[in-house]
Amino acid sequence: MMKSILKVFLLLISPLLLFGCGADKVKYEKGFPTSESPALSEFLRGELAGGSYRLLLRENEEQIYTDHQTDNRIVYYIISDDKMEDFYKSLLHSKNTADTLEDMHKTDKFTSNLTKLNDSKRYHLPLVELKKNNYMYIRTDKNETTLNLPDLLKKFDVKPNDDIYFSITHIKKDHFIIELVNANQDTEINKVIAIFVKQDLKKIVAASTVPKEFNNTLGNGELDGFSNLFTNSSNKRRYDMAFIRHGQYSIYDSKSNKLISIEKQDYLSKDGKYVYLGGNQGELEDGIQRIQTIENYLAGNDNYEREFKLSFKKIAKELKLKTSGISTATINYFNKDFVVLHLNYNGVLVGTAGATNVIVDLQDKDNPTAYIVDLGLVL
């Protein structure tokens, strides 16, 4: 009789044992990482620029940033990897990381470490300038032209007096992409437009960034001749990150020549190669966390790149918070084996008990570590 009961018991608990058996245990430490690492450097490269600059390229141990339309034109800046590392080293030994990071975020401090890049030929960087009545002047090292945007973008209902904002999102030897936002448009299809421009300016194609509409543009052959549509590198791969719209990501599949939407609840890594399952649902749950490669994710299988367990309760205990539980848990940053979270805890009865960031460093597969540190980052 006892043997029968034991067998039934084992059958009932075996799925529970299997469910979490492959997850890595995370070690918790208070404070910022005390040593440099490739993933930390990658995070800081984007974070230290704040909202004033966008990291466009990183090649030959140099980083190229753009600002946000200084006098209606794109301006490029350059900084070496070594100089950037020197700039953020003070974070590694800071007693108050949030204050140090806030100080670094001041535009004048970051700007003082940048050099304006005048030699645009080095990285095939175009001069792009918005003129009166929404004419756009473009000059590359091969050609120059002026576009009448209301004429070129007639099907998107662009008018001469519309408020237009633009940025360069992808750049390569073959072509570049200008992403244009029309502040006067409420229609989803017409709001955000991608303009694909050949470096010789002999072919210019405008497309809606709505996946269904963009796939129509792909399907009718308008973008034929643009090699490796969305990649900034010379390494061709099947999947590349394309657009981010309303917090939802889309991936370009070069084999099927289609845009594929990532599920709304999932979070795509910065490089577009990995997916954090359930990471974009607005309320991250603790317990087992799973990361897949984009290939396995789109194949719909159960092969995971990483599985690890997070405990919001243990984090609160490390901070000595008196709390009734988590209020909000969101991802600030994710790229392969490096995750930055923002956690906000409820008070015991009312109000909040406190908030913190958590850096989950998965680079060392045998020793994943969660650094509990306030970076002042809130999604």
Which tokens hold the place of 268? Answer: 């795509």
Higher-confidence residue: 87 or 232?
Answer: 87
pLDDT band at 133 (very low <50, low <70, confident <90, very high): very high
pLDDT at res. 244 = 75
The helix/strand/coil state of 163 is coil
- Whether the per-residue pLDDT at 222 is higher than 60: the answer is yes
Q: How many structural domains compose the chain?
A: 3
Residues 370 and 277 occupy one common structural domain: yes
Q: Is residue 176 part of a domain?
A: yes
Q: Is residue 100 part of a domain?
A: yes
Residues 72 and 112 occupy one common structural domain: yes
- The closest of 219, 309, 233 to 273, measured between CA atoms, is 233
Q: How far apart are alpha carbons 316 and 194 in whole angstroms?
A: 44
Q: How far apart are alpha carbons 73 and 88 in whole angstroms?
A: 29
Angle between helices 38-47 and 81-88 (to 10 degrees): 80
Q: Largest alpha-carbon pair distance within the chain?
A: 88
CB 312 within 8 A of CB 299: no
- Whether the per-residue pLDDT at 252 is higher than 80: the answer is yes
Backbone dihedral angles phi then psi of residue 208, each to the nearest 5 degrees: -70, 150
Residues 279 and 376 occupy one common structural domain: yes
Q: Is residue 256 part of a domain?
A: no
Residues 377 and 349 occupy one common structural domain: yes
Residues 139 and 157 occupy one common structural domain: yes
Choosing from 65, 84, 118, the residue where a domain stops is: 118
CB 193 within 8 A of CB 187: no
Residues 278 and 369 occupy one common structural domain: yes
Q: Which domain holds residue 78?
A: 31-118
pLDDT at res. 379 = 66
pLDDT at res. 60 = 87
pLDDT digits (tens, 9 = 90+) for 162-218: 999 999 988 888 899 999 999 999 988 999 999 999 999 999 999 999 989 999 999
Q: What is the DSSP letter of 365?
A: T
Q: Is residue 285 part of a domain?
A: yes
Choosing from 72, 97, 118, the residue where a domain stops is: 118
Backbone dihedral angles phi then psi of residue 155, each to the nearest 5 degrees: -70, -15
Q: How far apart are alpha carbons 375 and 251 in whole angstroms?
A: 30
pLDDT band at 102 (very low <50, low <70, confident <90, very high): confident
Mean pLDDT of the chain: 87
Residues 130 and 60 occupy one common structural domain: no
